[in-house]
A and B are shown apart, each in its own frame.
Chain A
Amino acid sequence: MTAAIRANLPVFAVIAPLFVAFVLPTFARRTRLVEGLVIFVQAVGLWGTAYLARLVLAQGGLPIIYEVGGWSAPWGIELVVGNLGAFFLLVVAGVSLPVAIYASGNLAKEVEGARRRAWFYVLYLLLGGALAGMSITNDLFNVFVLVEVATLSCCGLVSASQEPSGAEAAFNYLILATLGSGMILGGIGFLYIVTGHLNMGFAARALATVWQDYPHVVWMAISFFMVGFGVKAAFFPLHIWLPDAHSVAPSPASAVLSGLAVKGYIICLMKVLFHVVGPELMQVFSLNRLLVLLGMVAILIGSILALGQDELKRRLAFSTVAQIGYIFLGMGLLNVKGMTGALFHIASHGIIKSALFLAAGAVITQTGKERVSELAGVGKKMPITMGVFTIASLGLVGIPLFSGFVGKWYMLLGSLGAGDYLAAAVIVAGSVLCAGYLFPVIRVAYFEPAPADDWQEPGVRQRLALILLAMGIFVLGTIPGPLLELALAAATDFLVFN
């Protein structure tokens, strides 16, 4: 029995959250059971993915290949748990467990009605399953299906707050994301026309030999992928939906949307660009220049826009735009250091932004104040919440000992290695700007007189989740160990063995 479970772990990582999501609506009113089941499946998922990651590391980066239905590669769907898959599975499971714990405590204050909350968890698990699938699938059409599942769950999560602005943001997001899905499907179609394969490995091999015969079709496919995944991942000029959507969603939803969902699309884009198209072809189409350039603009514009926001969650949402810019910049450098930095930043930003959004959500639900200027003295009344917020801010700025530093350091080394001193300057400037929009929150919270209001710390489950995330930030910053190894190996896979 255990052998069967072990052999099928890759597929369980995808279907276990989906199974639980399917049965939740039948006992929607029994909130305790729903919450218990969600936390249980996330905890088991974390254990399973940790086991998979250990297996991959022990094999020296040799991927675990799972053939669904027993059909081998060009015909069937392959799930490949390689370095990249194990890395992102670990990130997804590691972030969604604390968020689920937090949601079980805080959701009652943010979403009304037991049934609505149960449906929230359904969407949450569907998103988790889709992200797990995106990280390990090796089939282009499967990518599209999982992207659709994730997108629709995201729309539901955004509108869960039952406010009119939430519905508006979700509608905007739905329109743009559907456009993106169409683009992705178009890109897959063009690639399929040229290569005749949907499996990424086979498509890559076919593309390497035929692309010179159809340069325009390949160019078209790549631009469709860039725009499609760019919209969903909020890549700079296409980010317009993100600030609204991520700031009105309930705080656990904001945390997974900003921390994980956009990263899932980036992972898919990385797979398409590096596994299928390949670094050489990217240089032919000057994609790397485009990625670096737009990444730099995203860092600067996102950070500057974040400076001007008084609403706390909106400020964090604009900061996500800037951090996504970092990841794309690291991708575009086309060297192992930059790529490692981008991948590690996916993990560290996932944890940090979840912690920031959850802390902000706790502050907002406990005090009812949404604006930074109204939060005077909140640090004295809610020391744990604001303490975690401070740790996460230091991490995002990139202070050594916190996880954001490792990713940014590698990206800095990568940009210097590539001789791109402008990019290096922008990375540093982005950190300074990041301090510019996060430290005022801390200053207001700690160094201004506290009002007489009776503000209390959130419940024990929220505090537990926040402390877990803060510990994650600290551990990743001091001993990044296995996660950094996986990121390094994945980056090497992307750029060297192609």
Chain B
Amino acid sequence: MMKDFVLKRIVIVLLPFIQMYGLYVIFHGHVSPGGSFAGGMILGLGFVAFATVFGLDRGRQMLPEKVTTLTESYGTLWYGIMGMIGIFKGFPFLANKLAGIDVGVPGTLTSGGLISWIGLGVGIRVASTITTLFFTMMEEKP
């Protein structure tokens, strides 16, 4: 934990923007560089920055292990559920436009159809994995 007032203020102010940017990268994965892995990484690094500045205990309070386990598990399951939409509509696994999902105008945010939603699940999973890895390494006794 760091005792620097300026650092703490800056992290508090920046945190929402970091998270917002992470979500932006996730949802624009199909039209711009980045995607769910890079976006999820940014999302997770927000928590890592918070835990570095405010200490591990505050970090764990904000994101307890139970929550990271849940997001890790269901983030990945979300991918599968999105893939199942195709099957429920009578098409193969992961069918996108074929299963009647609106893919909008090419080049815009909605043009990915399912891809953005699948990316959300993957992004959440990556974010919680990164935080879990970081917390585990900080908790480890040398």
Task: State which residues 34-76 of B face A: CB under 8 Å.
Answer: 69-70, 72-74, 76
A25 on interface, CB distance cutoff 8 Å: yes
B16 touches A (CB below 8 Å): no
User: Complex: how many Å from CA A69 to CA B96?
Assistant: 7
Of the listed stretches B2-10, B19-27, B84-92, B104-112, name the one at the interface; the rest are far from the partner chain. B84-92
- Interface pair B80/A19, CB less than 8 Å apart: yes
Check if B12 is an interface residue, CB within 8 A of chain A.
Answer: no
Evaluate whether A68 and B93 lie within 8 angstroms (CB atoms) in the complex, with A4-B87, A25-B72, A26-B74 already known: yes
| Chain B: minimal CB distance from A23 (Å) | 6
Chain A interface residue bracket vs B: 10 to 19
Contacts of A423 in B (CB 8 A): none
Which residues of the partner chain A approach B69 to less than 8 Å between Cβ atoms? Answer: 25-26, 28
- Known contacts A15-B83, A22-B80; decide if A4 and B90 are in contact (CB<8 Å): yes
- Is the Cβ of A8 less than 8 Å from the Cβ of B73? no
Question: Is B18 interfacial (CB 8 A cutoff)?
Answer: no
Residue of B70, B72, B88, B92 most packed against chain A (CB within 10 A): B92
Interface SS of chain A: helix, strand, loop or mixed?
A: helix
**Residue pair B74, A8 in contact (C-beta under 8 Å):** no
Tell whether, in the assembled complex, residue A68 and residue B94 are in contact, meaning their CB atoms are under 8 Å apart: yes
CB distance from B135 to the nearest CB of A (A): 16
Task: Report A357-385 CB contacts with B as 1/0, cut-off 8 Å.
Answer: 00000000000000000000000000000
List the B side residues contacting A26 at CB < 8 Å.
69-70, 73-74
Given the interface pairs A26-B69, A26-B70, the reply to whether A19 lies near B95 with Cβ below 8 Å is no
State in angstroms the CA–CA spacing of A15 and B94 once bound together: 12
What residue of chain B has the Cβ atom nearest to residue A18's Cβ?
Answer: B80
Number of A-B contacts (CB under 8 A): 49
Are A69 and B80 touching (Cβ within 8 A)?
A: no
Is the pair B93, A11 in contact by a Cβ cutoff of 8 Å?
A: yes
**Would A70 and B80 be within 8 Å (CB), given that A25-B69, A26-B70 are in contact?**
no
Cα(A307)–Cα(B98), bound, Å: 59
Does B11 belong to the interface (CB within 8 Å)?
A: no
The docked-state distance in angstroms from the alpha carbon of A144 to that of B70 is 28
- Interface contact A8-B77, CB-CB below 8 Å: no
CA distance A449 to B58 in the complex (A): 63
In the complex, are the beta carbons of A15 and B80 less than 8 A apart? yes
A129 to B93, CA, bound (A): 16
The count of chain B contact residues (Cβ–Cβ below 8 Å) is: 20
Nearest CB in chain B to that of A11: its residue: B93
Find the A residue at minimum CB distance from B70. Answer: A26
Q: Bound state CA distance, A70 and B72, in angstroms?
A: 28
User: Do B95 and A69 have beta carbons less than 8 Å apart?
Assistant: yes
Please, what's the 1-or-0 string for A56-97, where 1 marks a CB less than 8 Å from any CB in chain B? Answer: 000000000011111000000000000000000000000000
| A327 CB → nearest B CB, Å | 32
| A5-33 Cβ-contact flags toward B at 8 Å (1 or 0) | 00010010001001100111110100000
A8 touches B70 (CB 8 A): no
Are B80's CB and A11's CB within 8 A? no
Residue of B nearest to A67 (CB): B92
A24: B residues at CB distance < 8 A: 73
Q: Looking at the complex, which one of B70, B73, B88, B93 makes contact with A69 (CB distance below 8 Å)?
A: B93
Binding site for B on A (CB under 8 A): 4, 8, 11, 15, 18-19, 22-26, 28, 66-70
Q: Could you list some 21 contacts between A and B, CB below 8 A?
A: A4-B88, A8-B93, A18-B80, A19-B80, A22-B73, A22-B74, A22-B76, A22-B80, A23-B74, A23-B77, A24-B73, A25-B72, A26-B69, A26-B70, A26-B74, A66-B92, A67-B92, A68-B94, A69-B86, A70-B95, A70-B98
6 further contact pairs, Cβ within 8 A, besides A15-B93, A26-B73, A66-B92: A8-B93, A11-B93, A22-B76, A22-B80, A25-B73, A70-B91
